[in-house]
Structures are given as structure tokens and as C-alpha cells.
């Protein structure tokens, strides 16, 4: 199969070099092809699972997942050519073509447009995200397209941010510091964070930007007919709420006077570099250039009641309900989980309130203050017994939720405020982060797992699912560094600062908090089971305690409860997001498989239309290449050890890598000293049952053998010395190649068996025999039937058999190698007695009867 062998072997023979080094090099390349192929297939499978719509992910995931696939394909191509001496170098062409097409989808990054430094909110729509960021562009859409009441205001654009960093020449420093960050080193992260925030805060605002900003503020005062207008200064980063939630990661300042406007603007810019924001976007895989910050300047709404509005239940998006939560005062306490909320569940069809629940008494609320911006005050006594919202107001909010959802084509998460006179204002709308939904089809497990101690049985589900692990109670941001991977995050409140822990947690439990807060949003983004409002989790649960969190039926159990830990079947959300659509588009260039038949003329590099085609082609030809390499190799005596066994055959063993036990010296090896997993299984099958010897041969059979031996030029005259030929066994820990010449027939068995079932295979070529073509063909029929009985894919051409079994677990293939070993040994010379088809049937049944003591016979 490989042209290079002939010339190289001649040169090597003259120099008396050992062929083993070349084989070891090629075997390692072969193993790398298998490893890379496995990684690529796993990544593809994960992308396909995400593309089902049952999971939350962002564009950073799509890029990262594709990078895994792309890098794996490059490794496959490189190592395949190492194995095959450059024979498949043209395989790079379809890869490069497909990669370029996919990259064109992925690298269509949002570029910062050249605009003014400020844009009025009245001029914004969702298409203006590149200039105004996700939050403000969506807010503009609510007001200017849907006609919903939103605050007056303007946005300081991403172009203004770009001008700010360029004017102060700090972009390079920010890039350098973020590129070097190791988010696992929290102390170093804190140091870098302080340095980057200081860079921003110590920079000056360009004069032209300052002038335009203050002019816009004065215009806003005129528009609202109010002097010394107090405003909210809110982040609106380039990808905020669109590619990822960034819930609670950036700064917001309320009730800001004009004298503080410039400094608060810089504070919001600097909030991109807080430890929690750096942890979040570094973990998401975003680059610093993609984090350009726009800032919204909005008139303050002096809220009597505030809250959050979900157009769907994030734990059950198929149910036609709307969720509303409400608190007295400004909404910062609602999104931050600072106080108990009143929660309403509303019918999406009728707008009627189906149920409401006060999660405790709200004792304090946040209000506007001329001195400090905001302050905490006691909730007036008369409001304690009064509902936050009337039925009419609930119905009005529900109607808005459905309108906004229909407009954006997917469930929405809105923030709202209501003034003293009952006027609603909508402050934000973003895609609702949905949790994986549903239980296993046909699941019948009870609400409570009997005979297991329940530690907590009260709480609100923020993200459905189950998780288990050691408890870790987090009280402050400094605890981030010590939080264990897979721990159960337990806390009193649900501050967004703890969002960085979510992806490491197996579950989240809090005393206080609500399902519509920032931390709940992040939990659903990572699909981490979460229970809030348990009231006493931090009292009952202690560090190191093993618990199981059932965030389906709101129970926390002592210990690991296996019957609760079941995977949940997911369902689609209403409409695919832009990122989900992007993933599905690139998967059309990744996962379809066109190369199905290795015998087809199109099974070539030119026939590869997708990346999956490339993996299929490379895997197939890699096995051919290693197979041919072992067949063509000639090993020097010093590279081999003679196998010493009771079998009357001469075997020579070549160890490539960990195929023979350590410490075996000399030129001989015993079967029990072979540590190769597939070879050990094969040898067990070859020797488990004694060979009865050749079957009785009739006169015609004997004459057939003699005639074939004298007329077939392919048969070496030396074959008469039946057991004089060398039989090579090439072994590694997970690999073996066994080339045998037993009498008149030849076989090569090759297998790779490891823990990754995608890599595992058995391959067989079996040919020859001493009888006439008819008898040899019948013997091949017998072997084919036996192999097919044991799950092999078999192709028979006259008296030659090609058989393959791949993609199974280790234990299964070990059993099949035993079967193969038995068949190879016990069918030798059987061609002599295959004088009619009845003999094939008789021996087929006899073989199965004999193998019952060796392996389980498939039904």
C-alpha cells in the first residue's frame, strides 16, 4: 500500500537497520489519529446536543466548540500523513475550504460603527446593538417600535468608549493584562482587576466627548422640563443580554446628579474589569476587544412598586403562564434578591392571576434620596397588608409580556417600575434564560424519596434539575477562591457577585432570593439546579456535608440519593435564538456524513464535503495504513521475542509500547507476560479449548489439496513445513496486530481496545487454504456465518474474508476477540472437508455448541 517501503527497505537492509523504530513512529501517529478522532466526535456530539434547543449557551461556546473540532481535524490530517508518509496531504484542501466557510459565520463579529458620542433613546432600535449595546438597543425597540412606556434618555455609544481608550492609550495595556489572566488564581485576578480599573478611572474623558455628553444631559432636562434631573447610569455592553446574560456583572448607579455624571460614567466603564466580570467573560471565552461598553443615561422613575416580568416560566417554558414578581420601592432589591418578593403566576391566555405568594414580609425598601442617591427605609406599616399589584395591573403586565415575546420571537425577561400614580415604565428586556425542562419520559419516581432524611423541604425552584455534592457555605466574595468543583453552593442572599461560582457548582441553595434575580438567570444559563427562599439553608447545611438537591420537588436530602439523581429530558424553547441558529447553520457544514461506503470511488479526499467526512475518511484509511504497515514490515531479530507456549506454532512478539510486562529480559516471552489488552483476549480464545487437529479428509479432499499446492503459484513451496513459518505478533497496551500463516491459509488480525469506545475496533483479513476453490469458499462461508453471529460486519470475496467490528466498549470487544481467536485456530485445514454445503451447516452448529463454554452466544 505504501510505495516508500520498497526503496527504504533496500537501504535499511544494507545498513542493517531495525524496522521497529519506523513502526513505533507510525503507530504513535496512528494512535494520535484515533485520539483526535475521538475528541472531534465528542465535540460534534456535544454541539449537536446543544443544537437541540434544550440548553442555554452563547456565541463563545459555539466558537470554543468549533475550535475543538477544527484543531482536532488538523491533528487528524497531520498524523494521518505521518502514518502514510504524506499520501493524504491533499486532505487539507477540503478542510481548509470548509473551515473558511465556517469561520466566515463565526468571525462576523460586531464591529464598532462610527457614530456620534451619544444617541437619543428615541432614535434606537434593536438593530443598533453595535452602537448602543444590547440593553439600550432593546430598550429603544420597546419604546420606538412597540410603543411601550420607557424612560427618557440617551446612550453614550461604543464609539465613545473606543475613543476614550484610544485617547488615553490604554487599550494595549488592558489587552495585555487580560490575556495573561489565569482565572484560577484569584489573588492575581484581584491584583490585575485593581490595576485595570485604576487605568480607566485615572484616564481623562476627551473634551469633545464630555461636551457632547453634557449637552445631551441638558437636552434631556429640557425634554422632561426638569432642572437638575436625576438619572440612572446603566451599563449596555456590546454583547450584554444578547450573546450572554452578564446578569449583574456590571455597575449601575441610581439617582445620579449631574455633578457625578462623568465619574459614574467612568465607574461603569471600569466595571468591565471587576474580578467577577473578568471571571465571567474569561470563562465565556470572550476577547477584550468584544467588550466595548456603551452606557445608558436614563431618567429616574420614582417607583412605588418595581419588579421583574417573565413571559414564560423558565422551569417549564411550554406551560402557558407568565411570572411576575413585585416589591415595594426601587427594583434593585428585586434583582439582587435582597428582600422577599410577592410572586404572581398569570394565565397567558386570559391574563388572569392564577396564584400569588408572598415569600415573607418585606420590612425594608430602597427609595431615591437627594443626598446619597438611594437609601434603605422601612416599608410603611399600611403597605404590609396591602398587595403590591391589583388584578388590573397584573393583567396589564401579562399583556405586555406576551406582546414583547411575540415581537422578539422568544421568551423575554423584563424589568419594570410603577410610579405613584400607577404608570408603568419598562426598564429592560432581554432573552429569558431557560432551564432544561422536564423529567424522563415515563418517569414514575415519587415526590419524596422514602427512607432518606430530608434536611430542607421548602423553597422556590429557580432552575429545575438535581445535583449532589459537598456543601460549601459562601458568605463573602473572597470565598470564591476556595469553592470546590462540584460543590453545593449555599448562601444567605443571592448577590450577583457569586455568579462566578455557578459554573463550578452542582447545585445552588439560598435562604433568601427569587427566581427572577440575576443569580437565578446565571444558574439557568449554566443549567445548574437552584432552590431559593429555603429560609434556613445556611443554618441546617454545614461545610463538607454531602447532600442531594432535588430542584424539581424542592427537597434537599442528607447524603447521595441515587434514585433522585436522574437525567432530565429537555425540550425546546419557543423559537431558536440567533446563537442557536448560528450553531445549527455551522453544523450543516460539520456533521452530515456523505462518505459511507469505503469501496465507492468518491471515498477520497475530494469526496469530503464536511468535517465529519474528513474524520470518516481518515479513520478508515488510517486503519488500512497501519494494517499494511504491519504486513510489509520486516523486523530484525533483535527486535523480537519468541513466544514460549504449549501451542505447536512459532510466534515472534514485537513490543511497541507497554505490550509486554516490565522486566522481561532475553529473547523469549510467555503468554502471561503479554500485557496487551486485545492480544490477551485473543490468545485466551485461541487456547481456551484444545484443538482437535485437522478433520478427517476424504480422498477427493486430499487430492484437491495436492492439486492446489502444485498449481497455485501464490503458495510458497515452503508452506509444506506446516509449522516452520514465523508468525508475528505486534503488541502495545491497547493494540495488537497478529499475522499468521497456518498451513495453506493466511490471516491478519488487528485490534485496538481502550476505554474510549469510539476508538475501539477489530479487523480481520482471512484468505487461502489448500483445497480447491469450492471447498475454500465454503470454509469462508462457515467463518463468515460465525463472525456475523457475533456482530462482525463481514465481506466475503471468493475465499477471502474481510471482517470488522468497531465502536464498542472494551468488555464487549474482549469477548469478541476470544471468539475470533477460537475461530481462527479451530477452522484451519477445515477447507479439506468442505465438500458440500451441508458440511457448512453441520460445522456451524458444532462450533456454536463448542463455544458455549467460552462466551455467551447471541440470541
Catalytic machinery residues: 518
Handedness of CA 552, 554, 560, 563 (dihedral sign): negative
Q: Which three cell numbers stand for residue 808?
A: 464498542
Axis-axis angle for helices 59-83, 20-49 (nearest 10): 160
Q: Are 779 and 799 in contact (CB under 8 A)?
A: yes
DSSP string covering 48-106: HHIIIIIS---HHHHHHHHHHHHHHHHHHHHHHHHHTTTTTGGGHHHHHHHHHHHHHHH
- Parallel, antiparallel or unpaired: strands 412-418 and 305-310: antiparallel
What are the C-alpha distances in Å from 637 to residues 634, 667, 679, 703, 720? Answer: 9, 9, 21, 38, 24
Read off φ and ψ for residue 360, nearest 5 degrees.
125, 175
Angle at 855 between CA 853 and CA 857, to 5 degrees: 100
- SS3 of 621-650: HHHHHHHHHHHHCCCCHHHCEEECCCCCCC
Name 294's Cβ contacts closer than 8 Å, sequence gap at least 6. 131, 132, 133, 136, 155, 156, 157, 158, 160, 161, 236, 237, 238
Q: Which residue has the cell 480607566?
A: 200
Q: Which of 358, 337, 355 is nearest to 347 (CA)?
A: 355
* Residue 427 burial (CB count, 10 A): 22
Please measure the distance between the N-terminal and C-terminal CA atoms of the chain and give it in whole angstroms. Answer: 39
Axis-axis angle for helices 773-789, 837-851 (nearest 10): 40
DSSP E strands in 474-506: the ranges are: 488-491
What are the C-alpha distances in Å from 590 to residues 100, 194, 756? Answer: 12, 42, 22
Task: Please tell me whether residue 831 adopts helix, strand or coil conformation.
Answer: helix
Q: Which of 196, 164, 158, 163 is nearest to 179 (CA)?
A: 196
Q: Are 40 and 73 in contact (CB under 8 A)?
A: yes
Q: How far apart are CA 168 and CA 706, in angstroms?
A: 94
Q: Which of 35, 31, 26 is nearest to 72 (CA)?
A: 35
Q: Which three cell numbers stand for residue 815?
A: 469477548
Q: Are 762 and 754 in contact (CB under 8 A)?
A: no
Q: Which three cell numbers stand for residue 342?
A: 410577592
If you ran DSSP here, which 8-state letter would residue 672 be given?
G
Amino acid at each position: 500500500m505504501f510505495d516508500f517501503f520498497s526503496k527504504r527497505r533496500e537501504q535499511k537492509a544494507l545498513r542493517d537497520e531495525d524496522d521497529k523504530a519506523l513502526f513505533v513512529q507510525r503507530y504513535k501517529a496512528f494512535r494520535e489519529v484515533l485520539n483526535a478522532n475521538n475528541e472531534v466526535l465528542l465535540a460534534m456530539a456535544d454541539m449537536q446536543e446543544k443544537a437541540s434547543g434544550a440548553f442555554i449557551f452563547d456565541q463563545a461556546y459555539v466558537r470554543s466548540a468549533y475550535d475543538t473540532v477544527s484543531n482536532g481535524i488538523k491533528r487528524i490530517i497531520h498524523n494521518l500523513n505521518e502514518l502514510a508518509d504524506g499520501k493524504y496531504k491533499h486532505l487539507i484542501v477540503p478542510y481548509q475550504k470548509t473551515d473558511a466557510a465556517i469561520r466566515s459565520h463565526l468571525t462576523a463579529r460586531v464591529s464598532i460603527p462610527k457614530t456620534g458620542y451619544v444617541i437619543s433613546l428615541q432614535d434606537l432600535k434593536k438593530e443598533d446593538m453595535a452602537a448602543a449595546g444590547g440593553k439600550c438597543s432593546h430598550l429603544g425597540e420597546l419604546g420606538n417600535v412597540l410603543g411601550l412606556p420607557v424612560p427618557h434618555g440617551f446612550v453614550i455609544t461604543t464609539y465613545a468608549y473606543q475613543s476614550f481608550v484610544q485617547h488615553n492609550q490604554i487599550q494595549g495595556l488592558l489587552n495585555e493584562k487580560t490575556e495573561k489572566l489565569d482565572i484560577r488564581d484569584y489573588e492575581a485576578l484581584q491584583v490585575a482587576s485593581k490595576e485595570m480599573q485604576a487605568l480607566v478611572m485615572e484616564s481623562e474623558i476627551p473634551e469633545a466627548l464630555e461636551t457632547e455628553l453634557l449637552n445631551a444631559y441638558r437636552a434631556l432636562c429640557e425634554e422632561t422640563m426638569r432642572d437638575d434631573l436625576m438619572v440612572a447610569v446603566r451599563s449596555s455592553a456590546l454583547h450584554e443580554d444578547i450573546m450572554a446574560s452578564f446578569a449583574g456583572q456590571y455597575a449601575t448607579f441610581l439617582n445620579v446628579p449631574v455633578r457625578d455624571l462623568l465619574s459614574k460614567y467612568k465607574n461603569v466603564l471600569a466595571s468591565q474589569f471587576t474580578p467577577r466580570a473578568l471571571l465571567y467573560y474569561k470563562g465565556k471565552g470572550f476577547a477584550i476587544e468584544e467588550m466595548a461598553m456603551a452606557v445608558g443615561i436614563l431618567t429616574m422613575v420614582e417607583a412605588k412598586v418595581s419588579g421583574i416580568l417573565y413571559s414564560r416560566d423558565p422551569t417549564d417554558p411550554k406551560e402557558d403562564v407568565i411570572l411576575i414578581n413585585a416589591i415595594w420601592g426601587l427594583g434593585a432589591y428585586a434583582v439582587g434578591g435582597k428582600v422577599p418578593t410577592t410572586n404572581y403566576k398569570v394565565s397567558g391566555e386570559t391574563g388572569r392571576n392564577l396564584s400569588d405568594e408572598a415569600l415573607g414580609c418585606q420590612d425594608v425598601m430602597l427609595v431615591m434620596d437627594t443626598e446619597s442617591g438611594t437609601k434603605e427605609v422601612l416599608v410603611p406599616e399600611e403597605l404590609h397588608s396591602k398587595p403590591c399589584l391589583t388584578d388590573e395591573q397584573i393583567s396589564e403586565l401579562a399583556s405586555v409580556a406576551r406582546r414583547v415575546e411575540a415581537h422578539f420571537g422568544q421568551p423575554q425577561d423584563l424589568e419594570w417600575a410603577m410610579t405613584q400614580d400607577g404608570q408603568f415604565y419598562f426598564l429592560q428586556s432581554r432573552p429569558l434564560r431557560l432551564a432544561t425542562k422536564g423529567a424522563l419520559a415515563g418517569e414514575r419516581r415519587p415526590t419524596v424519596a422514602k427512607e432518606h432524611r430530608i434536611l430542607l423541604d421548602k423553597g422556590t425552584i429557580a432552575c429545575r434539575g438535581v445535583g449532589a455534592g459537598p456543601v460549601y457555605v459562601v458568605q463573602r466574595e473572597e470565598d470564591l477562591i476556595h469553592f470546590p468543583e462540584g460543590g453545593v453552593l449555599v448562601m444567605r442572599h443571592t448577590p450577583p457577585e457569586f455568579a462566578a461560582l455557578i459554573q463550578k457548582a452542582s447545585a445552588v441553595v439560598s435562604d433568601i432570593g427569587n427566581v427572577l434575580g440575576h443569580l437565578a438567570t446565571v444558574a439557568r444559563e449554566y443549567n445548574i439546579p437552584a432552590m431559593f427562599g429555603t429560609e434556613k439553608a445556611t443554618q441546617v447545611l454545614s461545610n463538607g456535608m454531602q447532600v442531594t438537591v432535588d430542584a424539581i420537588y424542592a427537597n434537599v436530602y442528607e447524603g447521595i440519593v441515587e434514585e433522585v439523581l436522574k437525567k432530565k429530558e429537555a425540550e425546546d424553547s419557543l423559537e431558536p435564538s440567533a446563537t442557536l441558529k448560528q450553531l445549527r447553520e455551522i453544523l450543516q457544514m460539520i456533521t452530515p456524513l456523505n462518505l459511507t461506503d469505503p469501496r465507492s470511488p468518491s471515498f477520497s479526499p475530494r469526496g469530503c464535503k464536511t468535517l465529519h467526512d474528513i474524520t470518516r475518511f481518515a479513520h478508515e484509511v488510517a486503519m488500512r495504513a497501519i494494517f499494511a504497515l504491519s504486513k510489509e514490515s520486516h523486523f530484525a531479530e533483535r527486535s523480537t521475542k519468541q513466544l514460549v507456549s504449549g501451542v505447536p506454532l512459532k510466534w515472534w512478539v514485537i513490543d511497541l509500547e507497554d505490550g509486554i510486562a516490565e522486566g522481561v529480559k532475553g529473547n523469549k516471552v510467555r503468554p502471561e507476560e503479554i500485557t496487551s489488552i486485545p492480544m490477551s483476549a485473543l490468545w485466551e480464545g485461541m487456547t481456551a479449548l484444545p484443538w482437535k487437529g485437522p478433520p478427517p479428509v476424504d480422498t477427493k479432499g486430499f487430492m484437491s489439496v495436492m492439486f492446489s499446492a502444485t498449481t497455485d503459484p501464490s503458495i510458497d513451496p515452503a508452506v509444506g513445513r506446516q509449522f516452520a513459518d514465523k508468525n508475528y505478533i505486534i503488541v502495545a497496551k491497547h493494540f495488537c496486530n497478529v499475522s499468521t500463516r497456518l498451513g495453506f491459509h493466511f490471516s491478519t488480525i488487528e485490534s485496538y481496545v481502550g476505554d474510549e469506545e469510539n476508538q475501539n475496533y477489530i479487523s480481520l483479513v482471512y484468505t487461502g487454504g489448500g483445497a480447491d476453490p469450492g471447498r475454500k469458499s465454503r470454509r469462508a462461508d462457515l467463518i463468515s456465518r460465525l463472525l456475523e453471529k457475533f456482530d462482525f460486519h463481514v465481506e466475503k470475496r471468493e475465499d477471502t474474508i474481510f471482517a470488522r467490528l468497531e465502536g464498542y466498549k472494551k468488555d464487549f470487544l474482549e469477548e469478541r476477540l476470544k471468539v475470533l481467536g477460537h475461530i481462527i485456530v479451530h477452522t484451519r485445514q477445515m477447507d479439506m472437508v468442505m465438500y458440500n454445503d451441508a458440511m457448512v451447516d453441520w460445522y456451524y452448529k458444532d462450533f456454536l455448541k463448542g463455544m458455549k463454554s467460552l462466551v455467551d452466544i447471541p440470541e
